[in-house]
Structures are given as C-alpha cells and as structure tokens.
Structure 1
Amino acid sequence: MEQYSPSIRAQAIALMRQGVPNRTVAERLNIPRGTVGWWRSEDRKTRGETYKQPTDCPRCTGRPFDETAYAYLLGLYLGDGHIISKPKQHHLSVFCNATQTGLIAAAEDAMRKVMPLPSVKQRYKTGCVEVKSYTKHWTCMFPQHGPGKKHERTIALAPWQQAIIDAHPWEFIRGLIHSDGCRIINWTTRTVAGERKRYEYPRYLFTNVSDDIRKLYTDTLDKLGIDWTHCTRHGNAYNISVARKASVALMDTHVGPKH
C-alpha cells in the first residue's frame, strides 16, 4: 500500500467521521478507495466501534414503504422467488423468462421501491434472467423464508402481510400470475346446425405445488369475486383455472398477460 502523509490520513478520517462516503473521500483527496476503506476500518478499531451495515429495512427501521410494490413482490417471491441467507451471502432472487422484459423491469422496480438502499442486479442465464437484490434484510420482509423448498413447509402470512394483501389484492394476484401463472387461449369444437365449429376463449392458469400458496391465491380470488376451478392434471390438482368470461375480463383489467 502506498504511504501517505499523516496529514492526508487525518483529513480522510475527519471527513469519514462526518459521514462522507469512501468514494467521495477518495476522489477529494486523490487516493485509492481501498486505502480509504482500510483507514476507516482501522479508525473503527481504534475507537472500539462495531461496524453495522446500513439498512433501510422497513421492519427494522419502522420507516414507511411502498406497500403496493410489496404486494406484487410477495406474489413473485411465493412463485418463482427464493432467498439465499448464508454467513457471507444474502440476496433475494426472482427468476424471469428472458423474453419477458416487462416482467424483468417490474421485478427490479418492485425490489427498489420496497428497499431502495440494496444493490439490484440482473444475472443472465440460458433462457432466463435472475433479478437479485443484495441484503440480509429480505428475510425480515419475507418471514416465509426457511430451509428446504416452499412446498415442503408451511407457508402462512404474518398479520402485517395479510393487511397489505387485503389493501392491495390485485397486485398480489398479479405477482403470483407473473411468477407461476399465465394467460392462454383454449379452444374447443361444437356442432352447430350440423357443422363443426371451432371456438376459442382465454383463461388464466396458476400452477404451484404448495397447497398453502394455492390457497392464498384462491382465497384472494374469492375476496375479489373471481370464479375459479381446480384443473387436475395427471391426478394432481396443482392448477387453478379462471375461465368464466366476466372473471377473465376482470383479470385482463388488473393483471393481463406477461410480457
């Protein structure tokens, strides 16, 4: 490490104690950020100060947050999301189809609106994009996190989460559909006046192996007055179908197809 005069180091420490970020200190004094970081660490040790990662976690700080964005993000998390929480690695991930750029942007936007401070990045994989937000505090916002797969453990909303879903049910439904659902066009044939005709109709499908997550979805549909049915395939009732015309129209208004 290059040696700097005691006066330069003293200036740097004085600025840092005033709350000036490392990058700004480095630019102002024309020294490497790594050197500034080292001086900050040594200054903390000298003063016996324990470093705490800054956070804007609503659950830890009590600050208000965008509940509409949270309702949508909760739906994404329960569907195709997961949290990595290890001693040196913490992040929330939501996997999106690489062709659905609108969904990718919406997932990133929701993460930033709920917690603006953590960095958010996109990781490209074959056929998909992983949207990641780095902070250990996502476990505070999603207490459903735990060891193993979501469908192998109980998934229940905390009272404060249920209050948000009750206030923003359509955003929750939209998040679930955008993660584990789709809008498709079904077709059937009927004989009319002796002639076989083809009829097409749209419907929404939501598929999730977790009984608890499916129930959260259907309970919310019930509150919204949406008609739904179980769609059993291969003996498994993992699919929830919304096909009645009036219900599909409501879903189109508030959810729409993924894009």
Structure 2
Amino acid sequence: MYDMTARQRALDLYASGLTFSQVSRATGISRFSIRQWASRAAPSPRMTIECPARDSRLDPSRPQADYAYLLGLYLGDGCISEGRRRVFALRIACCDAWPGLILECERAISAVMPHNRVSRVHAPGCTSVVSTSKHWPCLFPQHGPGPKHLRPIRLTPWQQEIVDAHPWEFLRGLIHSDGCRITNWTTRTVGGVKKRYEYPRYFFTNTSTDIIGLFTATLDAVGVQWKPASRSNGGFNISIARKDSVALMDAHIGPKY
C-alpha cells in the first residue's frame, strides 16, 4: 500500500518521460503498480487510502467518538478474519430484534472506514455487518487467533486515549453488543398489603476478564456504580441498579432499539 504522495511522485516521474522501469528504480515501487496507476486517470480512493492507524495514533480525520463506539461493538460481538491477499473482514454480529443497532453499527463502520463497502450477511435471528480492508487489524490490534476470552485483551495507549476522551461511546458499544437494559420487579408488604415494585437496571455479560475490566474501569471513570452479579452458566455479569447510576446510563446510552 502506498500513500498518495508516493503515487503522485511516481506518476509525475512517468509523465516526465521516464519508463516504468526507470520510475521503479527511482521510487522502489513495482512496475506493475506504476503501470496500473498510469492506466487510470486517477487512482480510486479505495486503492489509495492510507492506514488509518499510523504513528501510534488514529488518523485525526477519522471520528474518534465513532471509533470508540465501534471498539465496544468489536470487543463484544465482533471478529476479524483473514481472506485472500491479506484482506481482512470485520464482522459485527447483531441481533435482528434490534434494527436500530444494525443501522448504528453500519453508520459507525462507514464513519471510521468511509471508502470501504459495508454489507449485511443474514442468518436466522442474526445479521452480521461486514466490511473488508487490509487495515482492520491496525484499527483493532486485539485481533488474534481463538476466542477473546482465551487471550489477553489490552488497549494500546492510543486506544485508551480515545476511550478516555469518549467513555460513553465506548460503554454504549459494549452495552449494545453484550449488555441490556431490563425492568426488574420485587414485592414488599406495606401495611399488611403486598405491593409490587418495578425498577430498571443494566446488565453487561462477557466471558473475558480483560473485557469486563475495561467495562468496569470505564464505568468508574464516568461515576457509575456497579457490582458483580452471579451467573450460573459461566462468564461474568455486571449489574448497574442504583437509581442515580441508572439515570446516568439512561442519559447517555438507553435501551437498545
């Protein structure tokens, strides 16, 4: 992959009268690439896009808030798989019960990688939002072989800076992937009469201790109180039930839709 500066220099040298071989020796770029560029009036944006994660930071032209949200979705229900010619597919699995989530996922992917097509792959009860690029592992260095809960999941310094700057977007992505907002109820006897009381709460469930740690650390940073809840079939469950904390979550996240 070559950036626009390198491509334009090669085209300028070719336009000056040098042969493909001479331009190749002068620039270190293959003759095949130079010939392809010269045969087109202008390279397409898809071919000329640079890596969006360079110099240990996210390219400032990419919206950091959308990236924080997409990072939460990826850590919850996302995966990256390698195809031919080292082109990688990002897949975010979304439940069909939440069409708004599917739209939000598509919007975030398009904002972070605007020159790449976003498509849907349907399965019973589920839709995977998919986009291919050579640079998805650069954007999500947590990618690796095997399930996430079987390998360390750590944020790079530049990712942590984005999460620190946009904690609610990150939490929203995590809740939209592996969380929910529900209404619990309980009964109390008042004056001899049993009354039913309902109250909202948020849950987040994941099998990775590292991802749970990222979630709870970000909750701490925004002042949301939480506690672990029991889970009979494995994994970790985080409950947010205090009235003021639920109000904070409602103001910034809300239920899925």
The TM-score with structure 1 as length reference comes to 0.79
Partners of 1:119 and 1:235 lie apart in 2 by: 38
Backbone CA RMSD of aligned residues: 2.1
Cα shift readout 1:13-52 (whole Å, capped 9, x = no counterpart): xxxx89xxxxxxxxxxxxxxxxxxxxxxxxx9xx823379
Partner of 1:49: 32
Equivalent pair of 1:183/1:205 in contact (CA under 8 Å) = yes
Secondary structure, aligned partner of 2:145: coil
1:59 aligned to 53, 60, 72, which one?
53
Report the residue type matching 1:58 in the other structure.
Answer: P
Question: Residue 170 of structure 1 aligns to a residue in which SS?
Answer: helix
Residue equivalent to 1:10? none
Alignment partner of 2:157 out of 141, 156, 159: 159
The count of corresponding residues between Structure 1 and Structure 2 is 216
Matches within 5 A, 1:102-117: 102-117=100-115
- Asked if the contact 1:93–1:131 (Cα under 8 Å) also holds between the matched residues in 2, the reply is yes
1:100 is displaced (CA, Å) by: 1.1
Q: Find the aligned partners of 2:194 and 2:60 in 1 and give their Cα distance.
A: 62
Moved more, 168-177 or 57-66: 57-66
Match of 1:206 in 2: 204
| 2:83/2:89 contact within 8 Å kept | no
AA at the equivalent of 2:53:
R
Distance 2:77 2:220 in 1: 23
Q: How far off is 1:231 after superposition?
A: 0.3
Q: When the two structures are superposed, what TM-score results if normalisation uses the length of structure 2?
A: 0.79
1:87 maps to 84
Match in the other structure for 1:72: 69
C-alpha offsets along residues 152-199 of structure 1, whole Å, 9 cap, x if unaligned?
Answer: 000000000000000000000000000000000111111111111111
Moved more, 205-214 or 123-132: 123-132
Checking the alignment, whether the CA contact within 8 Å between 2:206 and 2:235 is kept in structure 1 is no
Structure 1: give runs of 5+ residues left out of the alignment.
1-16, 19-43
Deviation at 1:232, TM superposition (A): 1.1
User: How far did 1:60 drift?
Assistant: 4.4
Alpha-carbon distance in structure 1 between the residues aligned to 2:177 and 2:123: 17
The answer to whether the 8 A contact 2:185-2:196 is kept is: yes
The percentage of aligned residue pairs carrying the same residue is: 53
